[in-house]
Structures are given as structure tokens and as C-alpha cells.
Structure 1
Amino acid sequence: MEALDSRQIYQNAWMTVREDSIRLPDGSPGIYGVVDKPDYALIMPWDGVRFMLVEQFRYPLGQRRWEFPQGTAPDRADAEPAELAARELREETGLVATRIEQIGLLDCAPGMTSQRGRVFLATGLTQGPPEREHSEQDMRCAWFTRAGFETAIRTGEITDAQSIAAYALLLLRAP
């Protein structure tokens, strides 16, 4: 597949949308719509027994959803992944970790977006006050045991693909 031309269709503080004219392998023309967003960090706060998750209203779904803390730098800026992870952890939960270890990489939705996510495990946690952005004012946090987390996945209480994939990365990690 070869890109022939690209034009920006839309832009805001979190993403851009572009339409690319392409040539398929057989030489025929096509188009591809792409959502460009900066890479995100997903952080799994683990106290040795439980994970802390956040719940917030996800506008596109029209529902509140539980997920691991995650996010991007403001204004589509690039940020060093471990620093971004520590910032998201503190911002959304108030937790500060003595150890933040990268355990994997996720492609968010590679059929439509260039966004990638780095997954981190946070341990050695100390609780402080959250420093949430204005748009996160309805967010709340709760601790989930491993068994409780798995049950919430099975029952559909947790459906966030990135959180479920991050948990799989943790389970597959070498001991």
C-alpha cells in the first residue's frame, strides 16, 4: 500500500483526523481515514493484593466504565512514557509509586488510529490527593482484587480493551 496524498479533515486538542489517498498493491486507488493521537500510558497500580481502577463517563459509549488509569499528554504533545505514566497515576488516583516498570506495548485500534500505548506496572504505592483535569471531575477510584477484576471482566462490568489487554500482558510476564 502506498500513500499518494494526505489531507487533514479535523483537529482539536486531543487528535487530528486525516484522509489519505492510497494505491493498493494491485495498483487500484483507495482512501484511508486515520485518527492521529499521541501515544498514551496505561498504568496498573498494584499494592501486592489489589489493583486500583478508575471509573468515569465515556461519552462515545454513553456509559460509565471501569479501567486502569491511562492518558496522553495535553495538547497532543509527546511525553516520555514513564513520566507520562507517573503523571496519569498521580492525576487520576492520587497515588505515587516508588517503582514504575514498563511491561508492554499495545496498538489501540490499528485499523483506524496511529495511537499506541505503553503499559506500566506501578508498585510501592503511597496515597495522596488526586490532581484531576477539569474533564475528569466525575471520576472515582476503587480497589479490585485480582479475582474481583477477573469477575468484573467476565460479567461485562470491565470492558475497556486496553485494560483487559494490559492484564493479559501482566499474566504473560516472566516471573
Structure 2
Amino acid sequence: MQQLRVNGPDLKDTVDPHTVVNSETVYEGFIWDVQRDEFRLGDEDATLKRDFITHPGAVSILALDDQDRVLLINQYRHPVGMRMWEIPAGLLDVEGEAPHAAAQRELAEEADLSADEWHVLVDFHNSPGSSSEANRIFLARGLHEVPEAERHDRDGEEAEIFTRFADLDDAVAAALSGQISSPTAVLGILAAHTARTGGWDSLRPVDAPWPGHPKFR
């Protein structure tokens, strides 16, 4: 394998959809489906087949208060049989809703908070080998409590959510020691810590292009 040095401007993922010969839904689930695509690899005639979860995408929120404490929510996750410390998040499942508007809604619904200042913190694909899920983590600052009369009635797994604030440095230590393992929490915490160290110069506007999500490129 040839090894080349990649400079900063060239160090980026690129959109490169391959020709799909056939596509079918092989499983319809309660929350998401499994799709099977047959596609050509490059200019070759040969094709490959891959099964993957189709996903509308998601947003997550790293909410930081004026004492540099990060908001964490504790929620039960059945597939892994654990109560996990996470950051607020939700699906992009409302037609026509912009990602930052979804993030504002999720912060209010899951944590009873609003925020004055919003930026894009970091983007990622949760499991690109098996899912189409693209996730954008927003940084929210200037936090305020949502008036009690306007708060969302949580049900299902969300009914058991409780929240805590943790010092950002303590949260970093918990992530690196393996005490918390939610991917959005770990990535959001480390990204916020790095961004703070750089004077927040890496933050992007809330409507920054999102090449990882087909609807928001």
C-alpha cells in the first residue's frame, strides 16, 4: 500500500456515491429498516452487496453552563443493558426541520433547557460500515430553564431520564478512563475540551454545510 503524506486542507472525507445496481428493503423494523444495496466498485463491472440500517440522522447537544460544566443525562439503553451518561440527542425525524432547530427542541424536551448561543461542535458517522446515521453535535451556551408550564411530558425510556452537571475536566477524565462510553458524550466532551483549549476558534455556525448528511450538504 502506497503511503502519502496528507496536508491539512486535503485531510477531509469526500462525497463519492457509487452506482447502485439494485436496492431493496430486506427488513422493516419498529424504529428503522435494513436496506440491501448492490453497487459497482469504481469502474469495475463487478458488484458488491451490503446490508445496512437506514437512518434519518440525528443531532446531539453539548450544553455548557457559565461555570464550564457540561450537562449530562442518565438514560437506560436496552440493547446494552446499561444506564448510561449521555448528552441530549434525538432523531431528525420531523419533516422540514433544520438540524439546529431539532437540537433546540431536543434540549428542551430532554433537559428542560434553552440556550442563547449555538454553534456546530463536531460531526460524525456513528457506524458507517453498518448504518447510514449521520450525527451533528452542537455546542449550546447561555443556558436557561424552560418555564415549567412549557415543559415536555416525557414517556417511555425518556420518562426515567435524570440530569446532572459535571465539570468539563472531570467529564474528560471519565471519558478517557472508560467510566462513560456513550459515543455522543465521549466525542462531544473531548471536542468541547479541545475547542475550549483553542479559544473556541474551531466552532462553526449552526447552518454550516453538513456533507455527511445527504439532505443537508
Shorter chain as denominator, the TM-score bin is: 0.7 to 0.9
Over the aligned positions, Cα root-mean-square deviation in angstroms equals: 2.1
Match of residue 177 from structure 2: 155
How do 1:77-156 and structure 2 match up within 5 A?
77=95, 79-128=97-146, 129=148, 131-135=152-156, 136-156=158-178
Letter aligned with residue 82 of structure 2? Q
Of 61, 74, 77 in structure 2, the residue corresponding to residue 55 of structure 1 is 74
TM-score scaled to structure 1, two decimals? 0.87
Of 26, 34, 51 in structure 2, the residue corresponding to residue 9 of structure 1 is 26
Deviations 1:122-160 (A, max 9, x none): 111112355254221111111111122123213322101
SS at match of 2:102: helix
Counterpart check, 1:166 vs 2:188: yes
Shift of 1:13: 5.8
SS at match of 1:137: helix
* Separation (CA, whole Å) in 2 of partners of 1:115 and 1:132: 27
Letter aligned with residue 169 of structure 1? A
* Separation (CA, whole Å) in 2 of partners of 1:132 and 1:70: 16
Are the counterparts in 1 of residues 169 and 193 from structure 2 also a CA contact under 8 Å?
A: no
When structure 1 is superposed on structure 2, of 85-94 and 28-37 the one drifting more is 28-37
* Separation (CA, whole Å) in 2 of partners of 1:172 and 1:148: 14
Residue segments in structure 1 that go unaligned for 5+ positions in a row? none
Match of residue 22 from structure 1: 39
Are the counterparts in 2 of residues 42 and 120 from structure 1 also a CA contact under 8 Å?
A: yes
SS at match of 1:88: helix
SS at match of 1:131: coil
Identify if the C-alpha distance between structure 1 residues 83 and 64 changes in structure 2 by more than 3 Å, giving closer, same or farther.
same
* Separation (CA, whole Å) in 2 of partners of 1:78 and 1:7: 25
* Separation (CA, whole Å) in 2 of partners of 1:77 and 1:15: 16
When structure 1 is superposed on structure 2, of 53-62 and 103-112 the one drifting more is 103-112
* Separation (CA, whole Å) in 2 of partners of 1:18 and 1:78: 24
* Separation (CA, whole Å) in 2 of partners of 1:17 and 1:132: 31
When structure 1 is superposed on structure 2, of 22-31 and 91-100 the one drifting more is 22-31
Are the counterparts in 2 of residues 38 and 78 from structure 1 also a CA contact under 8 Å?
A: no
Identify if the C-alpha distance between structure 1 residues 132 and 33 changes in structure 2 by more than 3 Å, giving closer, same or farther.
farther
Shift of 1:110: 1.0
